């Protein structure tokens, strides 16, 4: 998600609509239908910006994220035998497969810092079987 980029795009749309409204009022001030449509489009873009700003403020608060993760993990007190039973897509924002035996899971608390991790947990070694052959997976959890 790139909410701030979406906000900038909407601001550009609002500026373009404002220019159209100004030009329209100078050219044909009597046509109310087009004027109402332009004003409605501008108002909708402003509402969308307010929604995205609210989403940034409420959804990406670190304390709320931690509470969300605690609630999500609460039912999983025993070891997990099958990943299909675990909400991995809800827990991690992204997964980076570095090689066949190296994987990095990402937790993003701040949308602006999704390129380089701020911190990482210790690496975890996990054994798994593929056709009676045991493999080892090195994984880690990165905080962004």
Report the SS3 class of residue 16: helix
pTM across the whole model: 0.48
- Residue 117's SS3 state is coil
Strand, coil or helix: 1: coil
Q: What angle do CA 94, 64, 74 make, to 5 degrees?
A: 75
For 41-109, give the DSSP string.
HHHHHHHHHHHHHHHHHHHT-HHHHHHHHHHHHTT--SPPS-GGGS-HHHH-SEEEEEETTEEEEEE-S
What are the boundaries of each domain within the chain?
Answer: 3-59, 79-143
Q: Which one, of 69, 144, 136, 142, lies nearest residue 104 by Cα? A: 142
pLDDT, one tens digit per residue, over 38-93 is 889 999 999 999 988 887 776 666 677 788 888 888 888 887 777 788 888 888 88
- Residue 136 confidence (pLDDT): 92
- Give per-residue pLDDT as tens, 7-35: 899 999 999 999 988 887 777 666 778 88
Q: What gap in Å lies between CA 58 and CA 106, rounded to an integer?
A: 20
pLDDT at 31: 72
């Amino acid at each position: 998600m790139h909410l701030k980029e979406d906000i900038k795009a909407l601001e550009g749309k609002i500026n373009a609509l404002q220019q159209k409204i100004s030009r329209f009022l100078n050219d044909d001030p009597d046509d109310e239908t087009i004027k109402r449509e332009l004003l409605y489009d501008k108002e909708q873009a402003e509402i969308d910006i307010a929604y995205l700003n609210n989403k940034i403020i409420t959804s990406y608060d670190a304390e709320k994220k931690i509470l969300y993760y605690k609630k999500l993990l609460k039912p999983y007190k025993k070891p997990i035998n099958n990943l299909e039973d675990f909400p991995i897509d809800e827990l991690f924002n992204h997964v980076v497969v570095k090689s066949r035996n190296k994987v990095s899971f990402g937790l993003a608390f701040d949308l602006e810092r999704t390129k380089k991790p701020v911190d990482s947990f210790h690496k975890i070694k996990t054994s798994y079987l593929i056709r009676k052959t045991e493999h080892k997976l090195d994984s880690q959890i990165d905080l962004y």
